[in-house]
Amino acid sequence: MERFSGNPILKAVATHPWESREVFNAAAVYLNDKVHLLYRALGEDSISRIGYATSKDGYTIEERLPYPIFKPKFESEKDGCEDARISIVEKKLVMTYTALCEYNHLQSYQVALTTIGLDDFLQRKWNWENRQLPFSGIRNKNAVVFPERINGRYVMLHRIDPDLCIAYSDDLVRWCDIKAIMKPRTEGWDNWKIGVAGTPIKTSEGWLVIYHGVRVEKLYSLGLALLDLEHPEKVLYRSKTPILTPKKDYERFGKVPNVVFSCGNVVIKDKMFLYYGGADSVLCVASIQFDELLSMVTR
């Protein structure tokens, strides 16, 4: 993939206490000729909140709000709302995120889900609907909902360490048929743990999924998977090598070194834009012609 020469595209803002330390890991959605980014921000209190920025060309930040659009509300997420992913499903935006709550210095994290109407989102009326815990009490994270129902049901990818898992729902509330569909390899770039990146992309060949893989040395890279259109628990293809791995200083040095980690991707015309956190410190973007990307999983 081609990194944007202007990376990082977002950095911390010292004068904003809620995002004064790091900004990274953004959900992305393309609406009304704009990329809308919902990025994770850490400030002076070390609590993650979600900020908002937009770009017309996919690279250059056009606007950035000076306040968070989503922040902790309940005990289960009191220490952070992290790593949002967002999908357009039936005239709503479905946002999944990691709800963090620490007890006696031990992290308890689980998948959380909320929705917002398209009109409210575009008009910046942040009327987030009921927050839910789809797998209450289970240590689980890195979740995203597919952008349409499959065989009448909602589908979610998520991670129960160290595997990439799937789950199904009739109502976005009760989830069932949980199973692991990809496990870490015994060797290679994804031999410790794996998890989904941004929203799956529907193609004629299958659901194209970007996923992160972690080596035992704790080096985070990004690769590709292709899932069956009607039976997404069936993996048709999986990257033998990553499409993006830490090389630049802003990916190798930071709060967590040697990390490229994505929560969002969009396709604009014939190009895919991949938004990713560099070293858990800054937000970056890389791009590739979509046909070239698809050819990697179909050749």
Shortest CA distance to 32 belongs to which of 63, 71, 4? 63
Q: What is the pLDDT of residue 19?
A: 98
Q: What is the pLDDT of residue 103?
A: 79
Computed over every residue of the chain, the mean pLDDT equals 97
Q: How far apart are CA 184 and CA 259, in angstroms?
A: 17
Distances (CA, A) of 67 to 80, 113, 127, 271, 280: 16, 21, 15, 31, 20
Report the CATH fold assignment for 2-298: Tachylectin-2; Chain A (2.115.10)
Q: For the chain, report the end-to-end CA distance as a whole number of angstroms.
A: 18
Q: What are phi and psi of 115, to 5 degrees?
A: -135, 165
Domain boundaries, the chain: 2-298
- 64-104 pLDDT tens trace: 999 999 999 999 999 999 999 999 999 899 999 999 998 77
Residue range 222-229: mean pLDDT, rounded: 98
Is the full-model pTM beyond 0.85? yes
pLDDT tens for 154-171 read: 999 999 999 999 999 999
